[in-house]
Amino acid sequence: MDTTIAFLIFGAGLVGGAMSAIAGGASFITFPALLFAGIPPLIANATNFVGLMPGNVAALAADHSELRRLLSGLRAPVITACLGAGVGSLLLLAGGSDLFQTLVPWLMLIATILFAAGPYVRRSLANTHPAGLHSGSPIALAILFVIAAYGGYFGAGLGVILLAALTVFGYDDIHESIIVKNLLISLLSITSVTIYIIAGKVDWPAALLMVVGTTLGGFAGGHLAKRTPHGVLRNCIIVFAVVLTAYYFWKY
């Protein structure tokens, strides 16, 4: 791998990890960096999953005591999320690289809209559905399955979608919602990564560079989170994502 490309991927992981710790949106940096490095879109997507997974799993460590308390009511959602992620990942592999490349601009557009609208959607759902749905109800599990399938297929903006859904499912405590969100994303990421590894769709040199970058970036971002205005950072991410989406519509 060229040294410049290696620094690009590592730097994207560093910035993406910090962004994820502060305001989310890491995939808006890491996925385009992998494409810019010349990695085919489908392999870039699978590699991105591997690069971001350690940060998602590590996020659970800080809340392990709260997580144990919440686990008793999460068996059905956990199983549903893993099944949905598996289906999404298999659909990606079945569709092949050409279809995924065609869908990249549209997936980026959907992810950008969801990321931008996330806080407003959560507030609206909290006001219109204060009682929520039980997280183990058939409707809730069906919604979660679809969300997880999207996560297994692409994944950008997934955290925003899950937080909005958890609001509907009755998690009105934002701290609890974040813990459950991190758990579900970690498990569905493990499911998808396992499938992508078995299928041989991971660029390992790029993935390992990104793992190091996102880990260091997440650590630094955790310290910066208290001093960084989230609104300013979110707006910068949205502008960047809009520019990237326009570029991908032009390119693909």
Most confident of 70-74, 75-79, 178-182, 215-219: 75-79
**Dist. CA 46–CA 27, nearest whole Å:** 12
Rounded to 5 degrees, what are φ and ψ at 225? -55, -35
In the structure, what pLDDT confidence band is assigned to residue 74 with cuts at 50, 70 and 90? confident
In the chain, domain spans: 3-251
Nearest by Cα to 16 from 244, 149, 173, 211: 211
CB 214 within 8 A of CB 19: no
**Dist. CA 139–CA 154, nearest whole Å:** 23
84-110: pLDDT as tens digits:
999 999 998 998 877 877 887 887 787
- Percent of the chain, pLDDT > 70? 73
Most confident of 57-66, 131-140, 207-216: 207-216
**Dist. CA 31–CA 248, nearest whole Å:** 12
Which conformational region is residue 8 in: left (phi greater than 0), alpha (psi within -120 to 50 degrees), or beta? alpha
| pLDDT score for 252 | 63
Q: Which amino acid is at 182?
A: N
